[in-house]
Amino acid sequence: MEKVYFSHDGAVDDFISLFLLLQMENVELIGVGAIGADSYVEPAVSVSRKIIDRFGHGAQLEVAQSNSRPAHPFPKEWRLDSYSENNLAILNEQTAIKTPLADKLAHEDLADKLMQSTEPVTLVMTGPLSDLARALKLQPAISTKIKRIVWMGGTFMEAGNVAEPDSDGTQEWNAFWDPEATKIVFDTDIPIEMVALESTINVPLTNSVRNSWAQQHEHVGLDFLANSYAFVPELNQFETNSTYYLWDVLTTCYFYDASLVQTKRVNCDVSITAPSDGRTFLKEDGRPVTLVHDVDNARFFQTIQKLAKRADD
Ligand code: AGV
Ligand code: CA
């Protein structure tokens, strides 16, 4: 059993990541924190609690709400999906939510849960690193409790996925939302495994992916996947700024089965200077990270299906 704290930011693939983590046989989730980054924080927390209720196989968990604020906010159009997700029928079979809201803020909850753990904990993070940066400031001793950070964020390619007037286009969004936090975390010596845009570029959402889920929607987990991804646009003729990739789901599945991907060691740093603030870049004597740069597309989608079908039991 691997102990995991999951910090996410409430986009569609963050929610599916939580759903999949709850189906993994070798994972003990010890906490969940939600940031209103690629979402609004109330629906992000509410959806998380409902997913644990409906798909958690009885897991006794609580969900902590973040009050972290952005340097650069996400586009409202994307953030609104969290409200749609919160209204899905499958998450509203019951009127009262059982999984409690934690009484601490997400960064405090993260610090507490780490300090209480007797074993090292893996942090799976699919949003900005803000709450971890704040937890490290609040309680520096937590760094000894963290086994590794598995993070969706950053890129070492020329182009990132940010298209904003105050950016030079080199950043990945999670790093750009809070560049200072990214830098603080990268300046520690906690092991970082980075699922960057290099690897997620090979797993776009496509119509054939949607259809394979829809055709098996008699399985409640695949129905949930198909309905959740219905809110976001797939890759069609050409890529746009809104085209959806399976960023966070690849991160979660890589954590579950590292043989799905190729990794390499690189040394890097983080810019905190506009207009490239939040850019992760290679640097010869920089901090080492394990970079996921390729993925076996077919085995990845098989893994998602296998895990999703466990929601039937
Ligand atoms: O940069 C990828 C991160 C992932 O954690 N998020 C979405 C995933 O949850 C931001 C993002 C980049 N492009 C987007 C994003 C898009 N087209 N729609 C919504 N979010
Ligand atoms: Ca995310």
At residue 154, does pLDDT exceed 90? yes
User: How many domains does the chain contain in total?
Assistant: 1
What share of the chain has pLDDT > 90, as a percent? 97
Instruction: Provide the mean pLDDT of the chain.
Output: 97
Ligand 1 atom with minimal separation from the 172 CA: 1
Ligand 2 centroid to Cα of residue 89, in Å, is 23
Ligand 1 centroid to Cα of residue 67, in Å, is 20
At residue 151, does pLDDT exceed 90? yes
Find the mean pLDDT for residues 48-58: 98
Ligand 2 centroid to Cα of residue 11, in Å, is 5
Looking at the CA of 163, which ligand is closest?
A: 1
Ligand 1 atom with minimal separation from the 232 CA: 18
Segment among 104-118, 187-201, 226-240 with least mean pLDDT:
226-240
Residue 275's φ and ψ, nearest 5 degrees, are: -95, 20
Answer yes or no: are the C-beta atoms of 251 and 17 closer than 8 Å.
Answer: yes
At residue 170, does pLDDT exceed 90? yes
Give 33's pLDDT tier (boundaries 50, 70, 90).
very high
Is the peptide bond prior to 165 cis by the omega test (within 30 degrees of 0)? no
DSSP for 265-306, please give it. Answer: EEEEEE--STTSTT-EEE-TTSEEEEEEEEE-HHHHHHHHHH
Helix-, strand-, coil-residue percentages of the chain, each rounded to 5: 40, 20, 40
Looking at the CA of 232, which ligand is closest?
A: 1
Ligand 1 atom with minimal separation from the 78 CA: 19
Ligand 2 centroid to Cα of residue 305, in Å, is 20
Segments forming the whole domain that contains residue 292: 2-312
Question: Which of 17, 126, 161, 172 should be mutated for ligand 1, with most atoms under 8 A from CB?
Answer: 161
Report strand pairing: 280-282 vs 261-270. antiparallel
Q: Give the binding-site residues of ligand 1, using a 6 Å CB cut-off.
A: 11, 13-14, 38, 78, 126-127, 152, 161, 172-174, 242, 244, 247-248
What digits encode the pLDDT tens for the residues 93-142? 999 999 999 999 999 999 999 999 999 999 999 999 999 999 999 999 99
Give 201's pLDDT tier (boundaries 50, 70, 90).
very high
What digits encode the pLDDT tens for the residues 77-104? 999 999 999 999 999 999 999 999 999 9
Answer yes or no: are the C-beta atoms of 209 and 230 closer than 8 Å.
Answer: no
Give 22's pLDDT tier (boundaries 50, 70, 90).
very high
What CATH number does residue 224 fall under? 3.90.245.10
Q: What is the pLDDT of residue 77?
A: 96
Ligand 1 centroid to Cα of residue 117, in Å, is 31
Give 239's pLDDT tier (boundaries 50, 70, 90).
confident
Give 10's pLDDT tier (boundaries 50, 70, 90).
very high
- ipTM reported for the complex, 2 dp: 0.99
At residue 237, does pLDDT exceed 90? no
Q: What is the pLDDT of residue 224?
A: 98
